[in-house]
């Protein structure tokens, strides 16, 4: 059991790392892109641009979250997340 947990933890640390919102955000944006492509509700030429805009939002949200995390660490409310 501990081997399985260790295996899963290894892949979590490798892929997700210390910014889970990046991994989650990328997956969510691509899932929305996949839904748009599959349903055909949006022109295929527009999908790349919408996904790229979504990724930019993910970066912005992650930076904002990191600011809050480091502010929390400075005031003693949370851990320092930097590596």
Partner 1 sequence: MGLATGTFLASAVECVEAFTIVLAMGLTRSWRAAVLGTIAALAVLAAVTALAGLALARWISESLLQLVIGTLLLIFGLQWLRKAILRSAGVQPLHQEEMIFAQEQEAARRAGREVRLGLDWFAFVVAFKGVFLEGLEVVFIVITFGLAASKRDPNGMLVAAASAVIAGVVVLIAGIIARRPLSAIPENTLKYVVGLLLSTFGTFWAVEGLGYFAGGTSLEWPGGDWAILGLLSAYVVLSRVAIRALGLRERVEA
Assess 37 for contact with partner 1 (CB under 8 A).
yes
Q: Least CB distance from residue 1 to partner 1, whole Å?
A: 20
Dist. CA 56–CA 76, nearest whole Å? 30
In 3D, which of 69, 54, 73 has the Cα closest to residue 19?
69
Residue of 67, 68, 78, 79 that binds partner 1 (CB under 8 A): 67
Dist. CA 10–CA 15, nearest whole Å? 9
Assess 59 for contact with partner 1 (CB under 8 A).
yes
Residues making contact with partner 1 (CB under 8 A): 14-17, 19, 22-23, 26-27, 30, 33-34, 37-38, 40, 44-45, 47-49, 51-52, 55-56, 58-60, 62-63, 66-67, 70, 82-83
């Amino acid at each position: 059991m501990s081997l399985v947990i260790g295996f899963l933890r290894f892949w979590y640390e490798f892929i997700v790392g210390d910014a889970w919102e990046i991994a989650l955000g990328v997956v969510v944006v691509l899932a929305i892109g996949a839904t748009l492509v599959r349903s055909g509700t949006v022109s295929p030429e527009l999908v790349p641009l919408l996904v790229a805009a979504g990724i930019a939002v993910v970066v912005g949200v992650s930076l904002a979250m990191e600011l809050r995390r480091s502010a929390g660490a400075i005031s003693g409310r949370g851990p320092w997340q930097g590596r």
